[in-house]
Structure 1
Amino acid sequence: MNNVSVDLLLLEGLKVSPASSVPAFVLLLLIYVFIMVSNVGLVLLISTERSLHQPMYLLFCNMSINDAFGATVVIPRLLSDVFTPMTQRYIRYYECVLQAFCAHFHGGTSHTVLIIMAFDRYVAICNPLRYAAIMTNKMVVKLSVAAWAAAFCLIAILVGLSVRLSRCRRMINNPFCDNASLFKLSCENVFINHIYGLGSAMATMACSLGSVTLTYLRIAMVCLSSRNKVLNGRALQTCATHLAVYIIMFVSGAVIIVLHRFPDLSDHRKLASIMFHVVPPAMNAVIYGLQIKTVREKISILFTKKNHRPQC
């Protein structure tokens, strides 16, 4: 087949029946509003409250910003396509490339940010006397920049390998654009894309899983050897919060990779890919906001102040 330069692509989008369009739209809209309000609200609360200007809470901002970003990459486009017939869901190639990059960038950053958060908990629990000296504001900035930059470089190469290919197709068989959708547009040999894509994904997940596992094994050893029940309780609370977020994110991403190996389960994979941009962003802010006592108290104070304002 001759290669054809195709600029206008046809996007499958969200597969819903006409009768389910309105409920699907309302549900997605409510979820998106909740994600944005909860994550942006948590960032604003931490940035405006001086008592929360601590390394642990500043690192939380990375996750909330990334969650709001990841949801914005996918959900608004899904909402705009719900009432559009599948034969008219067009997207330009450069828009598809941008969405694919941002979608994978969100996933990669989720792993790298959780790695530096695990490091923060490790220093706080295993080396508390040096915590203030190690986790300075400068160190927090360096770790945050490193987390975002590492994900950016990995994904730039990933998407770049797909963009270099010529295109002979125009159909995106996915709810939104991702890297696999891009290189499947080509009739060329995409062996390198498969190898780098799978290799970088597995390496990222292995690094995050390995670092988190080693970190928490070390933390567990310190807690078991310590007889201070108060400190152990605090350590358990903060670590459980971080671990819950990590498990949700890791399982959501792993399910997509596993389902890619089973073509017969393509519809399940497509649903899982949407869930990756919905479930973790919706859950993370709730887990951090409700499980962390300081943040919970600040939220309660804000609502109390509003309820006790004098009436004119």
Structure 2
Amino acid sequence: MENSTHFKVFRLAAYGDIGQLKYCYFTVVTVLYFAIILANTLLIGVICIERSLHEPMYMFLCALFVNQLYGSTALFPALMFYLLSDTHDISLLYCYLQIYVLYTYAITEFSHLAVMSYDRYISICYPLQYNNIMTPKTIYGLILLPWVYSFFLNSIIISLSLRLQFCGNILDRVYCDNYTVVKLACSNTMLNNIWGLVVTVLSFSCTIFPTIYSYVRILQICLKSSKETKQKAFNTCMPHIASLLNFLFGCLFVILQSMYETADLPPILRTILLVYFPICPPLFNPIMYGIRMVNIRQACKKLLGRHTKT
């Protein structure tokens, strides 16, 4: 453990010297955050109020939107503060809190998308048994399990990182990332690296592979079905697949930047790729589901029409 120092703060170097552009960036970030809060809150409210949407598929969607609001709170308030601030230091405690929220958001998002694919798989492949399989107890369990699962995995990640001693405190990021923090450590990080690999493998194997299997089986059923059934399956499954790919690409951008040197990329491009996963899915998903899913559109029109009359 050579030249280790007990740092009390990390410095987020990616903000750099942006000068007067900080007001432009702040405006863009504020508008995006407001849009995310508005879109997700609106659809959560519509699903909760409209009884016709009290079905498993929409309850899982509601859980997805809640998670997106949760994840965005880890990035946007801090991002808005540091854009206007002259100093870009973040305390160790808040840094670890930000890591915890962003990582639980990411794993929970993957898990919810896997649950939604399972729901569509049961609905399309076993329609007569759907109500017997998707009981209220099963639904609540499938909603809560991703949270418990991600909280447990990330509690171990943070507990392992808390014991580290650091040789530096400069993070080339606009937010705290566990992999980058661990790279600054002078102490032994073998346990951190092993557990990080375990979490990555578990997260992908327990979510991506079941999701792929579900949609392959759905595709097989659709190929044997009528044109009307194919169209119905397409309308319900395509938003889920688009959400999964969108979030997966965002996470891959972060992982690749953490593992490989990306100094050749323009700083603004590096930052955009880093913030893609906590910004684009929470903004993209509610808009896409609101437009693509007929029942949600009709419920929105119904509630807005009722509000206009009153």
Q: TM-score range by the shorter chain?
A: over 0.9
Provide the secondary structure at the position in 1 that maps to 2:25.
Answer: helix
Answer yes or no: is the 8 Å Cα contact 2:10–2:170 preserved in 1.
yes
- Which residue number in structure 2 is paired with residue 184 of structure 1? 183
Deviations 1:7-61 (A, max 9, x none): 2333335346213111111111000000011111111111111111100000001
- Which residue number in structure 2 is paired with residue 60 of structure 1? 61
Q: Does 1:173 align with 2:172?
A: yes
- Which residue number in structure 1 is paired with residue 293 of structure 2? 292
Equivalent positions of 1:237-248 (< 5 A) are 237-248=235-246
Provide the secondary structure at the position in 2 that maps to 1:302.
Answer: helix
After TM superposition, give the deviation of residue 257 of structure 1 in Å.
Answer: 1.4
Deviations 1:41-90 (A, max 9, x none): 111111111111100000001110111111111011010111212xx222
- Which residue number in structure 1 is paired with residue 47 of structure 2? 46
After TM superposition, give the deviation of residue 303 of structure 1 in Å.
Answer: 2.8
Aligned amino acid, residue 59 of structure 1: F
Q: Distance in 2 between matches of 1:100 and 1:152?
A: 12
- In structure 1, the gaps of 5 or more residues are none
Equivalent positions of 1:129-208 (< 5 A) are 129-208=128-207
Provide the secondary structure at the position in 2 that maps to 1:82.
Answer: helix
Q: Distance in 1 between matches of 2:163 and 2:143?
A: 30
Count of residue pairs the alignment pairs up: 306
Q: Distance in 2 between matches of 1:260 and 1:171?
A: 14
- Which residue number in structure 2 is paired with residue 5 of structure 1? 6
Q: Which moved more, 1:126-135 or 1:186-195?
A: 186-195
Q: Distance in 1 between matches of 2:309 and 2:262?
A: 58
Answer yes or no: is the 8 Å Cα contact 2:179–2:258 preserved in 1.
no
Provide the secondary structure at the position in 2 that maps to 1:9.
Answer: strand
Deviations 1:154-212 (A, max 9, x none): 11122222112123433333111121243234211323323322342243124322111
Q: Distance in 1 between matches of 2:3 and 2:252?
A: 36
Q: Does 1:115 align with 2:114?
A: yes
Aligned amino acid, residue 243 of structure 1: I
Answer yes or no: is the 8 Å Cα contact 1:36–1:68 preserved in 2.
yes
After TM superposition, give the deviation of residue 113 of structure 1 in Å.
Answer: 0.8
The structure-2 alpha-carbon separation of the partners of 1:103 and 1:111, relative to structure 1 and needing over 3 Å to count, comes to same
Q: Distance in 2 between matches of 1:100 and 1:260?
A: 14
Answer yes or no: is the 8 Å Cα contact 1:4–1:167 preserved in 2.
yes
Q: Distance in 1 between matches of 2:173 and 2:20?
A: 21
Aligned amino acid, residue 222 of structure 1: I
After TM superposition, give the deviation of residue 144 of structure 1 in Å.
Answer: 1.2
Q: Distance in 2 between matches of 1:26 and 1:178?
A: 24
The structure-2 alpha-carbon separation of the partners of 1:198 and 1:124, relative to structure 1 and needing over 3 Å to count, comes to same
Identity among equivalent positions (%) equals 28
After TM superposition, give the deviation of residue 95 of structure 1 in Å.
Answer: 1.1
Q: Does 1:215 align with 2:199?
A: no
Provide the secondary structure at the position in 1 that maps to 2:20.
Answer: helix
Aligned amino acid, residue 36 of structure 1: I
Deviations 1:229-282 (A, max 9, x none): 322211111001111111101111112212323213474544322111101110
Aligned amino acid, residue 234 of structure 1: K
- Which residue number in structure 1 is paired with residue 91 of structure 2? 92
The structure-2 alpha-carbon separation of the partners of 1:107 and 1:180, relative to structure 1 and needing over 3 Å to count, comes to same
Q: Distance in 2 between matches of 1:293 and 1:188?
A: 55
Aligned amino acid, residue 44 of structure 2: V
Q: Distance in 2 between matches of 1:19 and 1:202?
A: 43
Query: How much is the aligned-residue C-alpha RMSD, in angstroms?
Result: 1.9
